Amino acid sequence: MRQCADDACRFRFPAPATLVELPCPRCKGPTLVVMTEKPEGSPRPERSPKPVTSPLPLEALLDNIRSTYNVGSMMRTADGAGLGRLHLCGITATPEHPGVGKTALGSEDAVPWTAYPNALDAADALQAQGYRLWALESGLQAGSLYDVQSLPDAPLILVVGNELAGIDPALLARCERVLSLPMQGVKGSLNAAVAFGIAVYHLRFGVPAFRSATTKR
Ligand SMILES: [Zn+2]
Does one domain contain both 16 and 77? Answer: no
- Indicate whether 42 belongs to any domain: no
Does one domain contain both 103 and 4? Answer: no
Distance 140 CA to ligand 1 centre (A): 33
- Indicate whether 25 belongs to any domain: yes
Report, in angstroms and rounded to the nearest whole number, the Rg of the chain calculated over CA atoms.
17
Does one domain contain both 98 and 13? Answer: no
Does one domain contain both 3 and 99? Answer: no
Per residue in 186-195, pLDDT (tens digit) is 888 899 999 9
- Indicate whether 202 belongs to any domain: yes
Give all strands (DSSP E) within the chain, no chain letters: 2-4, 12-13, 31-33, 58-63, 86-89, 113-116, 132-136, 143-144, 156-160, 177-180
Does one domain contain both 71 and 137? Answer: yes
Evaluate whether 178 touches 137 at the Cβ level (below 8 Å): yes
Q: Does the pLDDT of residue 1 top 80, yes or no?
A: yes
Q: Does the pLDDT of residue 138 top 70, yes or no?
A: yes
Range of the domain at 190: 58-214
Does one domain contain both 69 and 146? Answer: yes
Q: Which amino acid is at 75?
A: M
Distance 10 CA to ligand 1 centre (A): 6
- Indicate whether 23 belongs to any domain: yes
Q: At 88, is the secondary structure helix, strand, or coil?
A: strand
Residues facing 138 on adjacent strands: none
Nearest to 94 by CA among 81, 104, 84: 104
Per residue in 142-183, pLDDT (tens digit) is 899 999 988 888 999 999 999 999 999 999 999 999 999 999
Per residue in 41-56, pLDDT (tens digit) is 555 555 554 544 444 5
Distance 176 CA to ligand 1 centre (A): 29
Query: Mean of the pLDDT values across residues 133-140?
Result: 90
Distance 7 CA to ligand 1 centre (A): 8
What is the Cα 132 distance to its own chain's centre?
12
| pTM confidence score | 0.83
Distance 28 CA to ligand 1 centre (A): 6
Does one domain contain both 23 and 88? Answer: no
- Indicate whether 147 belongs to any domain: yes
Does one domain contain both 136 and 95? Answer: yes
Does one domain contain both 144 and 82? Answer: yes
Distance 65 CA to ligand 1 centre (A): 18
Does one domain contain both 15 and 109? Answer: no
Number of domains in the chain: 2
Does one domain contain both 9 and 65? Answer: no
Does one domain contain both 9 and 91? Answer: no
Q: Does the pLDDT of residue 128 top 80, yes or no?
A: yes
CATH code of the domain in which 160 resides: 3.40.1280.10
- Indicate whether 131 belongs to any domain: yes
- Indicate whether 163 belongs to any domain: yes
pLDDT of 47 reads: 53
Per residue in 73-122, pLDDT (tens digit) is 999 999 999 999 999 999 999 999 988 988 998 888 899 999 999 999 99
- Indicate whether 46 belongs to any domain: no
